[in-house]
Chain A
Amino acid sequence: MTNIIRDIVWPIASGMGITLKRLKERKVTVFYPEEKRPTFPRTRWRHVLTRYDNGLERCIGCSLCAGACPAKCIYIDSAENTDEERYSPGERYAVRYEINMLRCIFCGYCQDACPTGAIVLRDDFELSDYNREDFLYTKEMLLEPMPISFGK
């Protein structure tokens, strides 16, 4: 009889005791699709091509980010700005700015290399998709929308 208590009842009771003790502790689970955990200021996820306050693009098409990229996932085609068609305040602008998101390792070297702070990595991590072709992010997808003050 004492053997039953010592070998069976007591181990189960002490084990359940630990479970009961843990029940009143703080819950750590983040209920992801409903709530997101707070991101840190230097989180590196989806790229954004930023604009100046007057709506002009910051990117000057210098290809320094493409040179700094260890995965070689950035392609840039640049052209000269004219007075009629002005995209950026400098001499040149990027006609095509493409990032292969599947190649990208989100290291942030492009952000460090950029002389005008045009490309920044923000905190949008929901990038999964079904087709390989959809991961070639073009300039239109990367450019941030026009500032609200623009056109007033």
Chain B
Amino acid sequence: MPRRIETIAYHDSATPPIGDIQHGGGVLMGAIDDLVREARVGSLWPLTFGLACCAIEMMSTVAAKFDISRFGMEAFRATPRQADVMIVAGRVSKKMGPVLRQIYDQMPEPKWVISMGACASSGGVYNNYAIIQGVDQIVPVDVYVPGCPPSPDALLYGLIKLQTKIRGKRLGGLIELTPRTLEQADDQHH
């Protein structure tokens, strides 16, 4: 964390002693924050949740040509207890929905979901009684990757977008207050 050490070195009376308040609290906590965040970004372990043809593209993302291990994500886990990011690859039927939700609940926090492909994101061409029209009806989705199926580089782009999202998130900032909740808190205060 050279950036943080620099803050101490050039400290003067104009700078608040606890450091960079706008960017997440004190000097020590900021350093830990950065460290944990980089660890999370650099070792996203995906959960194998291949349901259809998108899974083939997900597999070839792991293979030598695209090599997902360049981003520290090569450790695909078959158990949700050891996974960080769930890549929902393929169409989710109404019967698969509860299974998907249970597997999502079994993943430890912090966890992310990538909805890969048209079918997982919105149902795609399968606008019928059997397919869930968008996996975001049962789990919160972080990144949508359109395509049918998305090519491995399109999935990699989605994963890079997810990494950007995690980098922008501070520790302890897991509960996001909506403007409405803030207003209610304000009302109680007055």
Contacts and interface: CB of A to CB of B under 8 A. Distances in A.
Given A30-B65, A130-B161, A125 B122 contact: no
Interface stretch (A13-21, A31-39, A111-119, A139-147): A31-39
A85 interface: no
A33 B154 CA distance: 10
Given A71-B118, A105-B148, A126 B143 contact: no
Interface string B136-179: 10000111111110110110111011000100000000000000
B124 interface: yes
A130 B154 contact: no
A135 B127 CA distance: 18
Interface residues of B, number: 32
A127 B154 contact: yes
A67 to B, nearest CB: 15
B154 to A, nearest CB: 5
Interface in A68-111: 70-72, 100-107
A7 interface: no
B157 A29 contact: no
B122 to A, nearest CB: 4
B1 interface: no
B147 A125 contact: yes
Given A126-B157, A128-B143, A129-B143, A105 B118 contact: yes
B48 interface: no
Contact of B122 (A36, A103, A127, A128): A103
Contacts of A31: 70
Contacts of B150: 125
Interface of A: 28-33, 36-37, 45, 70-72, 100-107, 125-130, 132, 135
Interface of B: 64-67, 70, 118, 121-125, 127, 134, 136, 141-148, 150-151, 153-154, 156-158, 160-161, 165
19 contacts: A29-B67, A30-B66, A32-B153, A32-B157, A36-B153, A71-B124, A101-B146, A102-B121, A105-B148, A125-B150, A125-B153, A125-B154, A127-B146, A128-B145, A129-B143, A129-B144, A129-B161, A132-B141, A135-B146
Q: Identify the 3 closest CB pairs spanning chains A and B, nearest first.
A: A105-B148, A128-B158, A102-B122
